[in-house]
Structure 1
């Protein structure tokens, strides 16, 4: 869960030290979406009907908190986070508006370990479950695809209004539009654009600002192998509000790193590392991802 998990720890630091209020963005410093999680799976959906799974294993670490100006704060802080996310994807045997049709369910489980001013803390549990009722993908040419959907990150999981959590206490609606240009034994470039439209937390009367996430990948195909880079940029573009009053400060992050993919057609493995290069009002995190895509029930619902 990458930056989301780190931000959750940041919320813990807020409780531990009032002096860090200057660096808060999103409620408790938690983004409702882990920027960088999509990896190389941008507009890259199964072309046949069936039930598919993407298992994502992540390790994230950070050793500093950064203020509104992007400079490191003089606060003793460290973090390590582990997550396992199951993404279940249903590919339907029909078309809508000329597009392939999918439904997605995302279930993340998180283990978070932090140290702030020498005080250690561990949080384990279920993060926010995300549902995509309808995800559409158009193949405009043999090499060009566009995908669009509406994600609902629900108010679920191990959330508490009085301590740091691995989930947020509100629902986030997230429209997504992705584009991919992929040539066999050639170039592969893709970008996913996501808005974070956040509702108010009824337990705290706090409303996190809205944001934009751009995730990207670029590489070159060598038969079943692909070498390249992946990364993500997060920009919170509206202020948080507490009891209807703006509290200012907006989160920004940027990370990028190398990626390796092996595509065996029936299954796919991606390993990538994303180095945190910039952070404002959150922790500067780096992450290692292992993504394994496998078919669970290929071809279901196919006629004949």
Structure 2
């Protein structure tokens, strides 16, 4: 088996480590808000595809936040806390196929999460989140310019741990999610300048018939390699761009018709040879929500989380095709 470390991709996938619970009450009450938490992929993503093989990645992350917004619950004026810890193993498959001049790959990720929310919400959730698959990603190398373009479609499958009267009593979501992507990278002389855009849309909750509005997630990275080290700055901005559609289950009330979050962060990576380690984090510098239906206690029940995220990702190639064997020409002596 041949391992080509120069082609090994620490940025194994654009779908790396998808875990729920990025927001609180930004969508249907009790839902995470997005299938893929903002910022989770940009520390490991470029528009290029690694060499032929099967790759595995393991990502661990934590999110420490408070619920903010006009409908944020509190006790004695203190903000409600949110704590998330998650692990997400996944696989990237690069069979060596090409289509329309692009390199093909596919991804599958299975997240596991634990989340708790402080008083007065007081919830604890532990289980399996929805499986996330990217059956098709296509990456184009634009000549010798250093630019790469990738597009694909991610799908969240409603097979996670689902419980409760509305299906949101645990970390699974009772709906399908579709997440097309567009990623552009400039990769040259150790520089990585990447912009990634994801559009997330959901089907209706199969139990309540509530449908959460569409979301646009924009993520950015500027990193530079120094020998085996990689250093850089990261950022993201995510916003709900489509209205929620409520149902009779909630008396047609809306949790939030709009939310946004913006964050800045940094990355440190080290190449150990067969394994690449990336550690990166974000501080959410802005967050807000609006458009929630009024209650007897608040005129707008919309809320969203704001806090800190820290990720650690290891990736490695599990298998690569053996190099072709060059036949040895017989030597003839006269």
Structure 2 counterpart of 1:275: 283
Point out where structure 2 has 5 or more consecutive residues left out of the alignment. Answer: 1-16, 289-302, 326-334
Please, which of 192, 197, 203 is the counterpart of residue 199 of structure 1?
Answer: 203
Structure 1 counterpart of 2:329: none
Structure 2 counterpart of 1:102: 105
Structure 2 counterpart of 1:189: 193
- 1:294 deviation in Å? 0.8
The 3-state SS of whatever aligns with 2:110 is strand
| Contact 1:54–1:291 (Cα < 8 Å) also in 2 | yes
Please, which of 144, 150, 154 is the counterpart of residue 153 of structure 2?
Answer: 150
Structure 2 counterpart of 1:250: 258
CA distance in 2 between counterparts of 1:67 and 1:42 reads: 35
Structure 2 counterpart of 1:219: 223
| Contact 2:161–2:170 (Cα < 8 Å) also in 1 | yes
The 3-state SS of whatever aligns with 1:5 is coil
Structure 1 counterpart of 2:239: 235
1:213-234 CA-to-partner distances (Å, cap 9, x unmatched) read 1111112221222211122211
- 1:178 deviation in Å? 0.3
TM-score by length of 2: 0.78
| Contact 2:128–2:160 (Cα < 8 Å) also in 1 | yes
The 3-state SS of whatever aligns with 2:245 is strand
TM-score by length of 1: 0.85
**Which structure has greater strand proportion?**
1
1:255-288 CA-to-partner distances (Å, cap 9, x unmatched) read 1111112235643211011111112231102111
The 3-state SS of whatever aligns with 2:153 is strand
Q: Structure 1 pair 150/93, CA: closer, same or farther in 2 (3 Å)?
A: same
CA distance in 2 between counterparts of 1:293 and 1:55 reads: 6
Q: Does 1:34 align with 2:50?
A: no
| Contact 1:27–1:208 (Cα < 8 Å) also in 2 | no
Q: Structure 1 pair 2/133, CA: closer, same or farther in 2 (3 Å)?
A: closer
The 3-state SS of whatever aligns with 1:40 is helix
CA distance in 1 between counterparts of 2:48 and 2:321 reads: 14
| Contact 1:240–1:246 (Cα < 8 Å) also in 2 | no
The 3-state SS of whatever aligns with 2:21 is helix
5 Å matches for 1:129-144?
129-142=131-144, 143-144=146-147
1:168-190 CA-to-partner distances (Å, cap 9, x unmatched) read 221011100101112224x3210
- Which is further off, 220-229 or 206-215? 220-229
CA distance in 1 between counterparts of 2:266 and 2:46 reads: 19
The 3-state SS of whatever aligns with 2:30 is helix
Structure 2 counterpart of 1:15: none
5 Å matches for 1:156-175?
156-162=159-165, 163-175=168-180
CA distance in 1 between counterparts of 2:196 and 2:30 reads: 26
CA distance in 2 between counterparts of 1:200 and 1:57 reads: 30
The 3-state SS of whatever aligns with 1:53 is strand
1:147-197 CA-to-partner distances (Å, cap 9, x unmatched) read 111001111201234354222221011100101112224x32101110011
Q: Does 1:208 align with 2:212?
A: yes
Q: How many residues align?
A: 285
Q: Does 1:47 align with 2:50?
A: yes
CA distance in 2 between counterparts of 1:233 and 1:104 reads: 24
CA distance in 2 between counterparts of 1:46 and 1:303 reads: 21
CA distance in 1 between counterparts of 2:186 and 2:78 reads: 44
Point out where structure 1 has 5 or more consecutive residues left out of the alignment. Answer: 12-23
CA distance in 1 between counterparts of 2:112 and 2:233 reads: 26
